[in-house]
Structure 1
Amino acid sequence: MTSVGRVASRPPVHQDEVRAVHGARWIATAAVAVGALNYAYALVLTRLLDVSEYATFAAGQGLLVCTAAIAVVTVPWMLAQALARAGSDTERAEAVRFAVITSVAGGALAAVVVACVAQEFAGPVTTLVVACATFAVYVTRVSAGWLQGTERMRTLAVLNTTEACLKFGVGLFFVVALDLGEAGALAAFGIAVLPFAFFLPHRFRGAPRRPWRSVTVDRELWRRAVGIASLQGVVALLAAVDIVLVAMLPTDRAAAASYQAAVMLGRIPLFLAGAVSIAFLPALSRRRAGDPLTAAALRMYLTVALPLTVVAATAPGALLTAVFPAGYTTVSTLMACTATAGLALGALALLVTFAQAVNDYGCLRTLLAGLVLYVTALVTGWAVGGVLGMAIGGLCGTVATLVLIAVRHARRHGFGIAERPFGRVVVPMLALAGALVLIRPYTLVWLAAAVAVTGVALWRFFGRRGDPVQAGEPGGAPPAPLAGSVPYEPGARAAVHDEHAVRLLVDTVWRGLVRPAGDEELRDALAAARRNQVEGRLARAYPRQLAATVAEVESATALFRRNLVESTGRLRAAGIPTVLIKADLDGDYVYGNFDLVVPPGRLRAAQDALDGWYVQRSTYWLERTTKVLLEPPSGPAAHLHGAVCWFGVPVVPTERLFARAEHPDDPGSSDGHAWLTPCPSDRLRIWLAHALFQNLTLDLSELLALRSLLRPDVLAEARRETLREGWSAGGRRALDTAVAAMARLDRGESVPLPLPLPVATSLRVGAEHSGHLLVEGRLRAATREASLRVPLVVAKKLRRRVP
């Protein structure tokens, strides 16, 4: 039987299809929402800014879009590709570290370049704003790559939409309320990306510790990053050079603004192509060139991009005149060229994505030749016919570049099974374009037809059941099930695979029922086990198929014990007692750090005592006075706590914790333990408090830990202590939720894992505990908890892992 490790490196075609198509729909949905908000933003600014200010804004936006297009694909797509291909946590951690380094360095370089260009058409303040926004976009792209590489497309889609909403609201506030003009409108781009900072990559368990500032020597990552940056940089130039050029050339400002507005409307297909590329890149990176997945991506793009292009290209002048103010008189004349050029540019971007997915960076030469041809056509068109000539030249240059890339791609890789259906897509669109042209003089009739066409296109893209492409023969027959895999069902979603995986995990780990399982089912179950910190229990139930995981868990546990003994031994020698919390000494330990509580006021002394044991020290800004992470050269880090608190909010009194702590009954330790463990009721409360005040979830390992503590005497004592500490109602509700889930697991029923706590419980415990702190006169802690509770609930709900 094939090993799970090798199966994981290349999932079956249908599973990749389902995930990619489902993800593409989420990303495309966000792209439609983002596009609508962006265009609404641009349209509103045509009313709020005068023609000269808007021309400066549009040029600055073009620069930001150009550099953002590079940032959006260079760092995130490199990281996503590396995560999709990685075979170990060490490789994933190295890719994340490299992405952080290149995003900061690339952002600084891009900001300088943008500032040099922006000073040609903008003042010093606007130039600085554009440069700062560029840097902010770059450094937040690591989070986007992390979500893309782990195929959490729903979360990424929500974040993209949130970014557009923030930009719209903040930009209008700056322009209308603060009267900051084009500088305020551009500053919103930098502020809107801040939510991505909440989704930074987590620490990979089992990966060796290295300083984040260290530069990787992995030549493959450098080659991939440079290759992606080069390819996408040229695509970004193709998308933005005309917008910047028209602002710099000596032409009428009203004509330049009209061209820029027409280009913004015509670039809708480019954003759709980007959405499809983001969703399909991880799957394409695991497969060979010319894979049928390329056909799925192309068809998804054309399904919605062709009808929208036809609608935009045939828009009546009377309608556009009503939408745009009087200064934009030539928009209707330019739209046919800019819309068609946008369709070609989107197709070009998809072909470049296909090339980079298989490391074919040789297409850069063809792409550079196309760029030269495109710029030549733009300049020639402007010299011959002004702004209209530039639009025609841009269309000719874009189509010529697309033909060059398409011919090269067809010769080298082919298009999977995509060739046959193209005629059935393009010919009806040509007929539709002719019909809309005929009714163009009748604005209301055209508008009704355009709404119907757009609705049908969107329904075909988002509403149709089943996958748009089946793996196998051109006839579309579904593939035969692989041995040991979950049977294929047309229209099935990725969540179906996760449901089977969770059922196997629960049967094995919770109920102790080990049944035969195929490699694919085990691979998905192992992923669910890692999310629930129980991969060791699952692996030992299937020691032959998951031998590598057994070895990995044993190594991680050994490193934990070694680091625990070394660190607590040093602290005991310095006269500092410690209590180990949130750890089961009888089981596995695969987490990236272990938690040690030191007596009040001894946190600084504990750090000094461990000087020389750790190589890196870090703190989290919300907990910098109560917690510190000390990372040794290898193995899990020591997470020192000056108090049992979360986000600076004290929950379990540290003095009582030490007074009731016990020496561990650990046969794996030598005489004279250097650490203490909480008493049973304290252990129960700490697990519940960790879920209530930080994670807002309980994973399977935590449910197992709680199950062993559900004794009447422990529960009675825990109830008394939570009442004393001011969170009894929230603790009771959380425990009731956990116990109910345990009963369902005992019966073999479906339970979401990790188990989310109800939002009402999370909000209730915040109000209850902050009120208790206020009554006790701890105003600062009460204010801190009350102000953080709602943002914490929102952030955790958004960050919850999506299958």
Structure 2
Amino acid sequence: MSGPHTTTMHRPANRPDVIKAVHGARWFTAAAVAVGAVNYGYALLLTRLLDVGSYARFVAGQWLLLSAATVATVTVPWVLAQALARARSNAERGDAGRFAVITSTCGGLVMGSVVAAVSTRFAGSATTLALALSTLLIYVTTVTAGWLQGEERMRTLSLLHVAEVLVKMAAGVFLVVALGLSDSGALAAFGIGALPLLLWWPSLPHGSGRPWRSASANRDLWRRAFGIARLQGLVALMAAVDVVLVTMLPTDPSEAASYQASVTLSRVPLFVAGAVSMAFFPALSRRRAGSQLSASAVRMYVLASLPLTASLATVPGALLGTVFPAEYSMMSALMAFTALTGFAVGAINLAVTFSQAVDDYACARWQIVGLAGYTLALVAGWHLDGVRGIAVGGALGAAAALALLLGRLVHRQGTAFLRRTPLLEPLLLTAVLVVLRPFPLVWLIAATAVGVRAVERFLRRPGAPDPAEDQTEVTAGHSSADPSAGLSESTTDRPGTAMAYTKADHPKAIAPHAEEQPGSLLVDAVWRGNARPAEDAALRHALSLARDNQVEGRLARAYPRQLADVVAEVDTANESFRENLVEVTGRLRAAGIPTVLIKADLAGDYVYGNFDLVVPDGRWEAACDALEGWYVERSTYWLERSTKVLLEPRSGPAAHLHTAVSWFGVPVLSTRRLFERAEPDGGAWLVPRPSDELRIWLAHGLFQNLSLDLSELFALRGLLAPDVVAEARREAAREGWLAGGDRALAVAVGAMRRLDEGTPVRLPVPLPVGASLRVGAEHALHLLRHGRTRVAVREAALRVPLVVAKRRRMLLS
């Protein structure tokens, strides 16, 4: 097979950061909407499941719990995310992770005790215990949130937040209805809901000396923690002060309810700003102040929030009267002002994020001034015109506070973050909605169109060029079979992007911090072909990692003198492997049974424990009979007893006979089509067509291992010719797992690029858990549509427990 085509790529240096942040903001926004909807449904459902007294205790406990959790959610994840984004070595990453564990655990114990002490004033011992434990769990799991945010795994984090609230709701209903635990069960569900985040608990890099003491004494991390807590706490306080004042001041109950309902609707821009801030914060922490990345964040916020603010500010009173009871009639006079307040507070949140990304914690003084002015405007408004005055004063005070922070930001970071902000179209649409307000039906049609347009721009042109317009420029070159070739660019998160394959510009260059990374010796010697001098102890450590990645032979041949015993071991194993393979396939061919050898690279140079052969449909038992006398033991694994048999010989690697390319009894590739397309390989066996081989390696990672080791990356690297990839994608679409295959290939390509560059890569390379879950659902639906109900049900039933088991094993390894 000829080598892959060489390509060159041209991409702005900051584009991957923008795309990652944009995609993350989309996921966070969608998650915020889902979480808000489920929380609202949970509270509404409990009004029917609990008596009045129990519900009152639940509301009080929920308020106490969320107030306590606010401290953790605005401190630990942000500090950890920033530290990971800036970390230059595994030691710094480890320190940041251990600092987060220490602060979250200690904070959880302290705040849990405080919550317990306060809750004794209105609840019994069971409810008090539930609140204390839930507080501790919420605090501890913020480590996972911060780690995923710092790793920029925004989709995983978003899905976990949705899973958290779904588990909370399910657990709460079960504890209340099935076990009769009343308000204590409903509150305990908050802690149970946090448990899924423990499955993604980070594996911290090992440190030297006394790493836990070093992390706890890290003054820089403590400075950031206090600084970020101060900034984010002031934002949270500003978002809540008007609601608290309306509750405390002597106002008419219907007017207070109208204001609170208006604020609930008008705070949506704040959620959008929070999503954009969380997604962009890690990248902003690595970049200079006032960069184009900041402009992309502003653009994304304005695209989503300004049309929404315009719709809320101009909504006709007749429509509000249709949706809300008569007691909320004052909403039509308040919405215009609360909508402006919500937009301004969201913009303040984004401006504060820009400051904290560059460690500019001095902006807290300006926040305090703005908060003081905002509060004074609220109180003055109430004295002048009651609740309506509070709404007007809030809008004016929030606008003044925003102007104050923006002025300071422009002074310190310049105006680059405000460039290309899309204001003209939103302002024109606002004018149209104002004109149409007297005509509720026409206004509703126009507002719907505005909303659809905003969503379309948010999803397709969010603060950066449309990903569809951001295609990589690929220039075909000469073929190359150079084994040291690498990939020039990852495909980021866009499935279906053309794979670009090129020889690394400096295959032996080492990143400045590469030598600090565990496994760098292995990567340099095996992947990059640079066998630098190594001590025996370091080499044996690398050998252990090489065995885990099935490249011990490659490492041993790079150090033939120091690892002479391993060279001899691998040579013996290779000879035994070929002998058994030749004998088994020879016997089967003599019996008229062709075979296809899968998941094996005869030049892989490692110790095989077995080899996998696919036999044609209906020839499985005949193949076993033909091998009578060669094997001494026959066994099956209970989950694969109908598709795979293990034949153990007296010596050497075992033969695994498959009825299909399948995992856990679920076929992925068609056996008939595999044989039709298979090619001879100089022996009694056939090998898959290159596009089939590519899919088999990817499916093995996706459906079984949830990872790709170094030997698999070597195998994949030789299959990334554009025509092979294109054909593999067509076949994957036919088989019903295209999206999952694209995602796995994107991860593999990104890992190869990082290996070429000398940047740290975890080996084996983990595949996203979400990708495995998604490919399982995608493939099961495909099987169901094609009438294979039994196999589809099997895949759907096994996918989640298998993924959880694999994930747990990976975390413990």
Shorter-normalised TM range: 0.5 to 0.7
Matches within 5 A, 1:274-293: 274-293=274-293
What is the TM-score of this pair, normalised by structure 1?
0.63
Match of 2:363 in 1: 363
Residues 303-702 of structure 1 correspond to what in structure 2 (within 5 A)?
Answer: 303-324=303-324, 328=328, 330-382=330-382, 385-416=385-416, 418-425=418-425, 427-439=427-439, 442=440, 444-464=441-461, 467-468=464-465, 493-495=492-494, 500=499, 515-517=503-505, 536-537=522-523, 540-542=526-528, 556-559=538-541, 586=553, 667=564
Q: Under a length normalisation based on structure 2, what TM-score does the superposition of the two structures give?
A: 0.63
Q: Which residue of 1 aligns with 2:161?
A: 160
Task: Provide the residue aligned with 2:109 in structure 1.
Answer: 108
Check conservation: 1:259, 1:334, Cα contact below 8 A: yes
Deviation at 1:365, TM superposition (A): 1.1
- Taking the TM superposition and a 5 Å limit, the aligned residue runs for 1:733-752 are 736=661, 743-744=693-694, 745=716, 747-748=719-720, 749-750=724-725, 752=745
In 2: Cα distance, 1:699 partner to 1:332 partner: 70
Q: Is contact 1:274–1:350 with CA below 8 Å preserved after alignment? A: yes
- 1:294 and 2:297 aligned: no
Alignment equivalent of 1:710, drawn from 611, 620, 631: 611
Q: Quote the Cα distance in structure 1 between the aligned partners of 2:223 and 2:125.
A: 36
Larger mean Cα displacement after TM superposition, 36-45 or 122-131: 122-131
| Equivalence for 1:223 | 223
Flag the 1:499–1:139 CA change in 2: closer, same or farther, 3 A: farther
Paired letter, 2:801: P
Matching residue's letter, 1:24:
A
Pairing 1:234–2:204 present: no
CA–CA distance in structure 2, aligned partners of residues 450 and 340 of structure 1: 17
- Determine if contact 2:80/2:100 at 8 Å carries over to the other structure: yes
User: Which structure 1 residue ranges, 5 or more long, are not aligned?
Assistant: 1-9, 471-475, 505-514, 565-579, 590-664, 685-697, 764-785
Distance in 2 between residues matched to 1:99 and 1:15, nearest whole Å: 27
User: Residue 793 and residue 150 in structure 1: after superposition, are their counterparts in 2 closer, same or farther (change >3 A)?
Assistant: same
Matched, 1:14 2:8: no
Aligned to 1:723: 635
Change (3 A) 1:761 1:437: closer
Question: How far is the alpha carbon of 1:387 from its aligned partner?
Answer: 4.1
Cα distance in 2 for residues equivalent to 1:762 and 1:188: 33
More deviation in 445-454 or 284-293?
Answer: 445-454
Cα shift at 1:364: 1.1
Task: Show the counterpart of 2:801.
Answer: 791
Query: Is the Cα–Cα contact under 8 Å of residues 160 and 197 in structure 2 kept in the other structure?
Result: yes
Distance in structure 1 (CA, Å) of the matches to 2:365 and 2:387: 29
The offset of 1:422, in angstroms, is 4.9
Does the CA contact (< 8 Å) of 1:313 and 1:340 recur in 2?
A: yes
- CA RMSD in angstroms comes to 5.5
When the two structures are aligned, how many residues end up with a matched partner?
A: 626
Residues 174 and 480 of structure 1, relative CA distance in 2, 3 Å threshold: same
Q: Does the aligned pair in 1 maintain the 2:429–2:450 contact within 8 Å? A: no
Amino acid of the structure 1 residue aligned with 2:38? L
- Counterpart residue type for residue 217 of structure 1: A
Q: Quote how far apart the aligned CAs of 1:460 are.
A: 0.9
Q: Aligned in 2, Cα 1:585/1:363: closer, same or farther, shift over 3 Å?
A: same
Q: Which amino acid aligns with 1:98?
A: F
- The residue identity in structure 2 corresponding to 1:159 is L
Residue 94 in structure 1 maps to residue 91 in structure 2: no
How many Å separate the matches in 2 of 1:699 and 1:115?
59
CA distance in 1, matches of 2:810, 2:429: 41
Give the aligned partner of residue 86 of structure 2.
85
Shift of 1:91: 1.2
Q: How does 1:192-207 map to 2 (within 5 A)?
A: 192-204=193-205, 207=207
* Distance in 1, Cα, partners of 2:472 & 2:548: 50
- The whole-number CA distance in structure 2 between the counterparts of 1:118 and 1:384 is 38
Structure 2 residues not aligned, in runs of 5+: 1-10, 475-484, 557-561, 581-598, 614-623, 645-655, 664-686, 695-715, 726-740, 749-764, 781-795
- Looking at structure 2, the residues matched to 23 and 520 of structure 1 have their Cα atoms a distance apart, in angstroms, of 34
Deviations 1:760-792 (A, max 9, x none): 9999xxxxxxxxxxxxxxxxxxxxxx9997433
SS of the residue aligned with 1:438? coil
- C-alpha spacing 1:798/1:54, structure 2 compared with 1 (3 Å): same
Query: After superposition, what is the alpha-carbon deviation per residue over 1:711-761, rounded to whole angstroms, capped at 9, x for unaligned?
Result: 99xx98998756166455457559946986894345544573468988599
Read off the aligned partner of 2:82 and give its amino acid letter: Q
Letter in 1 for 2:522: G
SS in 2 for 1:792: helix
CA contact (8 A) 1:43 1:324 kept: no
Is 1:126–1:182's contact at 8 Å kept on the other side of the alignment?
yes
Once the two structures are aligned, what percentage of the paired residues are identical? 44
Distance 1:211 1:157, change over 3 A: same
- Find the residue that maps to 2:216 and give its secondary structure: coil
The answer as to whether partners of 2:82 and 2:357 remain within 8 angstroms in 1 is yes
Cα 1:288–1:328, aligned 2, differ >3 Å: closer, same or farther?
A: same
Which has the larger displacement, 553-562 or 400-409?
553-562
Cα deviation per residue 1:492-541 (whole Å; 9 max; x = unaligned)?
8545899758x56xxxxxxxxxx343699998xx9xxx99x898346555
Rounded Cα–Cα distance in structure 1 between residues aligned with 2:69 and 2:61: 12
Shift of 1:297: 0.2
Give the conservation status (yes or no) of the 8 Å contact 1:47–1:325.
no
Aligned to 1:653: none
SS at match of 2:302: helix
In the aligned structure 2, how far is the partner of 1:239 from the partner of 1:123? Answer: 32
Matches of 1:701 and 1:84, distance apart in 2: 40
User: How far apart are the structure 2 equivalents of 1:380 and 1:700?
Assistant: 77
Indicate how the Cα distance of structure 1 residues 451 and 269 shifts in structure 2: closer, same or farther if over 3 A, else same.
same
Q: Identify the range of structure 1 (729-738 vs 69-78) with the bigger mean alpha-carbon deviation.
A: 729-738
Segment of structure 1 superposing worse, 140-149 or 58-67: 58-67
How far apart, CA to CA, are the structure 1 residues paired with 2:125 and 2:252?
A: 23
**Change beyond 3 A, Cα 1:168–1:399:** farther
Determine the C-alpha separation between the residues in 2 that align with 1:248 and 1:701. Answer: 77
Residues 1:53 and 1:416: Cα distance change in structure 2 (over 3 Å): farther
User: Which has the higher mean CA deviation after the structures are superposed, 399-408 or 27-36?
Assistant: 27-36
| Whole-angstrom CA distance in 2 between matches of 1:185 and 1:153 | 29
**Separation of aligned partners in 1, 2:377 and 2:535:** 60
1:650 alignment counterpart: none
- In structure 2, how many angstroms separate the alpha carbons of the residues matched to 1:703 and 1:466? 45
SS of equivalent to 1:710 = strand
Q: Distance in 1 between matches of 2:269 and 2:331?
A: 18
Output the amino acid matched with 2:444: L
